[in-house]
Amino acid sequence: MLRAVGEPRRIDRAIRRLQGALKGVPARAVRLTWRGGELVTTIHWARDDHFWWAFEPRAARESGPGKTTGARHALLLGHAAHPPTRRESITCEINLPLGGADRKVAGIIAADAEGMLYLAHSGRMGGARTGQRKAGFRDFLADGVWRPLVWPDGGESEALIVAPLDSPRLTRLLGQFVDSVRRYKSGEAPVARTGLCVEAAPVDSATAACDRRLVDGALHEELVKRGLFGGAADLFSLRGERPQPLFALVVDGRPEELALAVGALSLAQARGGRDVRTILIASAALLARDGAALQTLPFACVSFRWRGARAIFDGLDDALA
């Protein structure tokens, strides 16, 4: 189970790591506006991921009669498909505590049993449209990477894992979070799950779960390009009489993850017979290690590798033929 980091020095180090890992083209003297305030600062535009970000300290302030919000770190985020202008609106703000178990802010630095650090969010979303609950974002992003979390004071809750701080795909994952918040606040419907992959079992690693969502999304885009889908309402309305492709993903190559994926595909193949085409998607590193054994399986194997933050598939056309 993940634990919320409460030590001030450890939080400071994590935030410095986050700032160093985030990429973007700087835009200076930009006026940022939000409900009830504005400021002029430098933002950084992540062009490929359609958002900008900025870190700003927040002093302690009164949040209501007899209540005070403590000083905190603020990660300001805005959706931006095009270069930022001199005036930008904030899409969301991830506030992180300076230390301790501060549930008044939604941002969390979390750590797993191996000491890996994650940027997480409580799911409470302020600044939503009239009628939207602060907790409504949890339902909107139900297919996100939600994990149980233990706080320094022993309390437990659930948190959305936005991104592992050491992931080379951190900027892409943060961009997906910003886009989800934008769609939620604008009243759009949740994006339906692709249904491309059989559900073997929950992935224990939050890092692997984040990568799994990226691979799944990239696979969906590649299949759309190939014209396999009959429409968005029914992803597997294939043209003609070709078998329905059904995939299983092996992201980090753990033996138990591979065993579950192989078992799930075997069961799907036994149930579907000639009506399905079962395909295993595995990392190139796993296929390089166990390729000979995997080639003996009764279904096709496709490898994926990372090009930047995007999954690239090798052998997909052959598997679908």
Per-residue confidence (pLDDT) for residue 230, from 0 to 100: 47
Contact 220, 196 (CB under 8 A): yes
Structure tokens belonging to residue 142: 């139900």
Q: Is the pLDDT of residue 293 over 50?
A: yes
Q: What is the 3-state composition of the chain as percent helix, strand, coil, each rounded to the nearest 5?
A: 30, 35, 35
Residue-wise pLDDT tens digits, 231-268 = 444 444 444 456 778 899 998 888 888 888 899 899 88
Report the share of the chain in percent with pLDDT over 90: 51
Per-residue confidence (pLDDT) for residue 66, from 0 to 100: 43
Query: Which residue carries 């969906």 as its tokens?
Result: 220
Report the share of the chain in percent with pLDDT over 70: 87
Domain ranges of the chain: 2-185, 206-320
Residue-wise pLDDT tens digits, 59-76 = 655 444 344 456 788 999
Contact 149, 159 (CB under 8 A): yes
Strand stretches in the chain, DSSP E: 2-4, 25-34, 37-46, 51-58, 61-64, 67-69, 72-79, 87-89, 92-97, 107-111, 117-121, 146-150, 156-164, 244-250, 276-283, 300-307, 310-314
